[in-house]
Amino acid sequence: MEKEKLLITSSPHIKDDDTVEKIMYGVIIALIPASVMGVYYFGLHALLLIIASIAAAVVTEAVFQKFRNYPVTITDGSAVITGLLLALNLPPGLPVWMAIVGSVFAIALGKQVFGGLGHNPFNPALIGRAFLVASFPVHMTTWISPVDGTTTATPLGLMKLQGVSTDYMSLFLGKIGGCIGETSALAILIGAAYLLYKGYIDWRIPLSYLGTVAVLTTVFGQDPIFHLFAGGLMLGAFFMATDMVTSPITKKGRWIFGIGAGILVVVIRLWGGYPEGVSYSILLMNGVTPLINRYTRPRVFGEVKNNG
Amino acid sequence: MDNNVFLISVISMGGIGAFFGIVLAYASKKFAIKVDPRIEQINEALPGANCGACGYPGCSGFAEAIVEGEAPVDGCPVGGREVAEKIAGIMGVEASATQERSVARLYCQGDCEVAVDRALYDGVQDCRAAQAVNGGPKACKYGCLGFGTCAEVCPFDAITMDENHLPHVDIEKCTGCGKCVQACPRNLFELVGVSKEVHVGCKSQERGKDVMKVCKAGCIGCRKCVKACPFDAMKFKNNLAKIDYEKCTSCMVCVEVCPTNATYSDFDKRKKAVITDECIGCTLCKKVCPVEAITGEVKVKHQVDPEKCIGCSLCFEKCPKDAIKMIREE
Amino acid sequence: MKTVTFKGGVHPPHVKHATEHKKIERAQLPPKVYIPLQQHIGAPCKPVVGVGDEVKTGQKIGEAESFVSAPVHASVSGKVVSIETLPHPVGANVLTVVIESDGKDELSEDIKPGGDLESLTPEDIKKIIREAGIVGMGGAAFPTQVKLSPPPDKKIDTIIINGAECEPYLTADHRVMLEHSEDILFGLKAIMKAVGVEKGYVGIENNKPDAIKKMQELVKDENNIEVVALHTKYPQGGEKQLIYAITGREVPSGGLPMEVGVIVQNVGTTAMIAKAIKTGMPLIERVLTVTGSAIAEPKNLLVRIGTPFREVIQQCGGFKQTPGKVIMGGPMMGLAQASIDVPVVKGTSGILVLSKDEAKQYQERPCIKCARCVDACPVYLLPTRLSHFAQHGMWDEAEDYNALDCIECGSCSFVCPSKIPLVQRIRLAKSQILDRRKKK
């Protein structure tokens, strides 16, 4: 029974059975509640946007990899996440072709030009969204009310422009105007709980991000609960700021990342031109992530500290 | 109004440009660091690969060392004679009698077709890393592991891996910088004069029967080459043939007799002696020929039998009239 | 149970069930033993027997000529049939004495009990340990007597006996603690006397409650010896991690345990020290775990040093599945073997044979910067960065990022979802950094 050659490898000889695919599909599962709520509130068009966005992302990734003679890795689920996250960040009434353009842009220029999975400095879905906001500002800020299907404003927009607040229950359940996947805090929290339970995201980033927003809005005399549940903060904090590829690898770095993003959100929301600032806050912090990694190297065991 | 805006812009932008221009110009004069111009000149003459073969940190480091008198003008093994002469010119000294250019030669012929593996290997595709895993997957403990670390470290792209995972050195591109010599965990590269064309492609010190078990192209210690060498250039130690390059004339006789082709050379490069009309029939060449390939009577032009001639150049060196030419066969 | 531990680490599956309740069995004498003259870190031994010589069990056959070395002894009685370079489980070929057993297992006359612990001086104890050829039996095989002889400026105040056995599959130390607990206590006392130390600990992972209980009962009247339950986590048995867990001291980066006044010894080594003092028997046999899905009858065996793996595996019923990978030691830090025709050496804590299906080859995927390796690293390195530097030949950067502090525990590679051979790359970086230092 030992005619065949033995395998020699460097230790360790056993590996954890978690894989990139498992993590990616875990994130997709965690996004299902938010997606379902989005479709429930905003109807079939939302579903169509989600499907189109995912399909465009996957096809773009496949075409790009084929074209560059790389192995096609669309089954790893990472392109699906990008497409889905982008769709969840789109206004429910957006023309489908715009979603496709955004998705193609997100994968092509947000991810593949940098070398594909693991090499992109910015969250590709947010790159896609930023591109769409810059290209189609009117469409990207036209919101539909989940109550009657008429055009409405987001709670943050109402707050910023008219000083009108929205009741907590609507915010929590998501019966408000906003992007497809961002309105229902409840659905997002269900997904987030799953991710935290599975260990696919680090609690430090959402905690420091949300915490900073809560503290700063309180300090500046705003309603912190309103700010936590309004807009895309919940979705951003749990699903986009925590993107492994574009957030810091050190624990200290993750705190800094969350706090920095929190400060940026509050600054944009309170004093900026836009009512919402989650995507830009995350993109900006993505940009400084390599720097954060560089300056938050942990103390090596046995370094400095002696005979503790 | 419109003109005014235009004018103001031009003046202010121009003014800023002029201001910084002046500041920069002043700064470059004021804070200029005096550099020996020869360093720059030498740096330009050097190949610029920053390979470190000279022992200094890059080409500019070497250039500084020359100007400071620490390094010899012919200290760049890559640039060879040409560069050494240039540098000697810059420094105003004579370049010492320059040696022949050295190139890296591989001392293993055991590609994946002829040499067997004793195990499967999975992991980092680097010879040094594979060597650290139980000595690597190759059955021969001395042979090439074939992961191409030499090709990766070569700064001159002179090493390519063939389809059987054996590296090949492009003699034209190789500069003898020695990076591959250092990188190979099995020490399979040696720097040898470029004119040396015969090499023993095996480093196995195993006994012949053990070599045969693991590789078809290994030196099995039969010593046929030792017996065949007309110049006593083939030594035998530790179950392995080794060429004394001082004595070797690249005649390739050893290659002909080697049963496993462990000894290799490029037969296309084999030279043949040809006697020209200058020959005065002194018979010196006939006497020196180790294979009796030259015939002829005294005071009559001699002839070379190309079938017998092994291209050893002994007659060429001996001929008092320079009537013998060594010609490469086509 | 109150437990202590370190920061970082991973939780690989234990897989100890196959052998943890099996008593240590004495293996049959092999017909031939292959005893390498280097089974330790340090200088190889010089053979003191010749081909054709008759040797007896326990007779010295290789003399240690330098300080960091350990002599080797004949593990059977019989005739030396050859002395040649042969494969060694650590990789390179090593000069090896081959002895054909006469089956009588006659003891050498040199073997005499060392005497009472009370009457022995520290120097006597160290001499017995050296002469018995005892080395660290946890796997690293560092000569024990060298470890027990710190330079005079290093004040040692604590001895820790390492019974963590954090490697999955292995149960040899566990069984030694259950079946030879008195020897461990005796050995610990001998070490404490040899080094002049008042405080001794035995650290045991809490997945071995029976061993903790047994040892605790044994030391209940010893007021300077304590049994500490350790949280079950890999690499709890790493020296630095163990010291941190028990004493809270951090061994300085690049330093040895003695710099924080601690010496750590493996339980097997400690029991062997007791045996050497009590009977005079040198290290010629050891307990090892033979296990894995491809082994028909997993066992804890007492095996003579120099017995080929093949022989040991046969005594465990041979293979029940096609073997895919043979590992000397545990699955986290053990060494994969290209062949089973290598001998058991002093550092062989186990023979683990994975079936062909279990011996997976992994497709490396791009790093997704999940930082699980960073969280797992027990010395707080950034394995993903180090691996990146090693991949691109950036040795200076790797050195700057403390590659040399890596203890090669493999936790990073274990948790990596992209299956990147992180620790192998870091090893490469370490060897390159050390090479470059040597050249300077």
Identify which of C352, C361, C375 has the shortest CB distance to residue A7.
Answer: C361
B134 and C424 within 8 Å at the Cβ level: the answer is no
N-to-C CA span, chain C: 52
Average pLDDT over residues B117-123: 92
**For residue A231, is it within any domain?**
yes
Q: How far is residue B268's CA from residue B181's CA, in Å, rounded to a whole number?
A: 27
Task: Kindly write down the DSSP assignment for every residue of C212-238, as one continuous string.
Answer: HHHHHHHTTT-TTEEEEEE---BTTTS
Residues 6+ apart with CB under 8 A from A159: A165, A166, A226, A230, A275
Confidence at residue C205, expressed as pLDDT on a 0 to 100 scale: 95
Average pLDDT over residues C320-341: 94
pLDDT confidence bin for B131, thresholds 50/70/90 = very high
pLDDT confidence bin for B22, thresholds 50/70/90 = very high
Count CB atoms within 10 A of the CB of residue B114.
17
Residues 6+ apart with CB under 8 A from B209: B220
Q: Which of B188-197, C277-286, C423-432 has the lowest mean pLDDT?
A: B188-197
CB-CB neighbors (< 8 A) of B134 in chain C: 91, 335-338
Confidence at residue B81, expressed as pLDDT on a 0 to 100 scale: 76
CB-CB neighbors (< 8 A) of B122 in chain A: 7-9
The alpha carbon of residue B111 is apart from the nearest alpha carbon of chain C, in Å, by 19
**For residue A305, is it within any domain?**
no
Q: CB of A292 within 8 Å of any CB in chain C?
A: no
Average pLDDT over residues C13-22: 93
**For residue A253, is it within any domain?**
yes
Structural domains of chain B ordered from first start: 37-91 (1.10.15.40), 100-195 (3.30.70.20), 197-269 (3.30.70.20), 271-328 (3.30.70.3270)
Instruction: Note the ipTM here.
Output: 0.90
pLDDT at B78 over 90: no
Average pLDDT over residues B177-196: 90
pLDDT at A2 over 70: no
The alpha carbon of residue C112 is apart from the nearest alpha carbon of chain A, in Å, by 41
Q: Which residue of C has its CA nearest to A253?
A: C371
pLDDT confidence bin for A1, thresholds 50/70/90 = very low
pLDDT confidence bin for B96, thresholds 50/70/90 = low
The alpha carbon of residue A10 is apart from the nearest alpha carbon of chain B, in Å, by 6
Single out the residue of C12, A231, C338 nearest to residue B141, CA to CA: C338
Number of helical (H) and strand (E) elements in chain A, helices listed first? 13, 3
Q: Which residue of B has its CA nearest to A11?
A: B133
Structure tokens at A30: 């965690």
Q: How far is residue A127's CA from residue C398's CA, in Å, rounded to a whole number?
A: 32
Cα separations (Å) of C369 from A71, C360, C382, C404, C409? 20, 23, 11, 22, 20
Structure tokens at C237: 């048995």
pLDDT at C384 over 90: yes
Average pLDDT over residues A153-164: 82
pLDDT confidence bin for C261, thresholds 50/70/90 = very high
Q: How far is residue A152's CA from residue A178's CA, in Å, rounded to a whole number?
A: 9
CB C43 within 8 A of CB C68: yes
Q: How far is residue B140's CA from residue A115's CA, in Å, rounded to a whole number?
A: 39
Confidence at residue B149, expressed as pLDDT on a 0 to 100 scale: 94
A235 vs B231, residue with greater confidence:
A235
Pairing of strands C199-205, C225-230: parallel
Confidence at residue A276, expressed as pLDDT on a 0 to 100 scale: 85
CB-CB neighbors (< 8 A) of C338 in chain A: 6, 8
pLDDT confidence bin for C337, thresholds 50/70/90 = very high
pLDDT at C94 over 70: yes
pLDDT in tens, A32-54: 999 999 999 999 999 999 999 99
Confidence at residue B2, expressed as pLDDT on a 0 to 100 scale: 61
Confidence at residue B95, expressed as pLDDT on a 0 to 100 scale: 62
How distant is the alpha carbon of residue C19 from its chain centre? 18
Count CB atoms within 10 A of the CB of residue B36.
12
B-contacting residues of C 225-284, CB under 8 Å?
none
Average pLDDT over residues A102-130: 94
Confidence at residue B42, expressed as pLDDT on a 0 to 100 scale: 86
What is the fold of C122-279? Rossmann fold (3.40.50)
Q: Looking at chain C, which subunits does it touch, using at least 3 CB pairs closer than 8 Å as the criterion? A: A, B
Q: How many residues does chain C have?
A: 440
pLDDT confidence bin for B98, thresholds 50/70/90 = low
Average pLDDT over residues B107-119: 91
pLDDT confidence bin for A308, thresholds 50/70/90 = very low
Average pLDDT over residues C237-243: 94
Mutate which of C339, C423, C424 to disrupt the B interface (most B C-beta within 10 Å)? C424
Confidence at residue A306, expressed as pLDDT on a 0 to 100 scale: 45
Residues 6+ apart with CB under 8 A from A283: A122, A123, A126, A127, A130
Q: What is the CATH number of the domain that holds A62?
A: 1.10.3430
C323 and A116 within 8 Å at the Cβ level: the answer is no
Q: Which residue of B has its CA nearest to C440?
A: B55
CB-CB neighbors (< 8 A) of B117 in chain A: 5
Q: Which residue of B has its CA nearest to C90?
A: B134
Residue that the structure tokens 């959100």 belong to: A265
Q: Which of A18-27, A174-183, C407-416 has the lowest mean pLDDT?
A: A174-183
Structure tokens at B254: 């050893």
Residues of chain C above pLDDT 70, percent = 100
Residues of chain A above pLDDT 70, percent = 97
Identify which of C91, C338, C428 has the shortest CB distance to residue B118.
Answer: C338
pLDDT at B1 over 60: no
CA dihedral defined by C318, C322, C328, C334, rounded to 10 degrees? Answer: -150
Q: CB of A71 within 8 Å of any CB in chain C?
A: no
**For residue A75, is it within any domain?**
yes
Average pLDDT over residues C225-252: 94
Number of structural domains found in chain A: 1
pLDDT at B173 over 90: no
The alpha carbon of residue B242 is apart from the nearest alpha carbon of chain C, in Å, by 22
**For residue A3, is it within any domain?**
no
Q: Which range of residues forms the domain containing residue A290?
A: 22-295
Residue that the structure tokens 């043979």 belong to: C326
**For residue A199, is it within any domain?**
yes
DSSP C257: G
Residue that the structure tokens 């023993």 belong to: B200
CB A138 within 8 A of CB A91: no
Amino acid in position A197: Y
DSSP A158: I
pLDDT in tens, C98-109: 999 999 999 998
Chain mean pLDDT for chain C: 93
Kindly report the CA angle at C31 between C29 and C37, in degrees rounded to 5? 90
Confidence at residue B261, expressed as pLDDT on a 0 to 100 scale: 86
pLDDT confidence bin for A158, thresholds 50/70/90 = confident
Q: Which residue of B has its CA nearest to A8?
A: B121
**For residue A10, is it within any domain?**
no
- Give per-residue burial for C320-354: e unless 16+ CB within 10 Å, then b: ebebbbbbbbbbbbbbbbbbbebbbbbbbbbbbbb
pLDDT confidence bin for B326, thresholds 50/70/90 = confident
pLDDT at B250 over 50: yes
Q: CB of A150 within 8 Å of any CB in chain C?
A: no
Residue C151: is the preceding peptide bond cis (ω within 30°)?
A: no
Assign residue A278 a region (left: φ > 0; alpha: ψ between -120 and 50; beta: otherwise). Answer: alpha
Pairing of strands B119-122, A6-9: parallel
Q: How far is residue B199's CA from residue B241's CA, in Å, rounded to a whole number?
A: 10
**For residue A122, is it within any domain?**
yes
- Give per-residue burial for B61-85: e unless 16+ CB within 10 Å, then b: bbbbbbbeeebbbbbbbbbbeebbb
A306 and C252 within 8 Å at the Cβ level: the answer is yes
B122 and A6 within 8 Å at the Cβ level: the answer is no
Average pLDDT over residues A264-271: 93
Confidence at residue B99, expressed as pLDDT on a 0 to 100 scale: 63
The alpha carbon of residue A11 is apart from the nearest alpha carbon of chain B, in Å, by 9
CB-CB neighbors (< 8 A) of A76 in chain C: 365
Q: CB of A11 within 8 Å of any CB in chain C?
A: yes
The alpha carbon of residue C90 is apart from the nearest alpha carbon of chain B, in Å, by 6
Number of helical (H) and strand (E) elements in chain B, helices listed first? 12, 13
Please tell me whether residue B273 adopts helix, strand or coil conformation.
strand
Cα separations (Å) of B114 from A34, B136, B211, B212, B240? 60, 17, 11, 10, 18
Chain mean pLDDT for chain A: 91
Residues of chain A above pLDDT 90, percent = 72
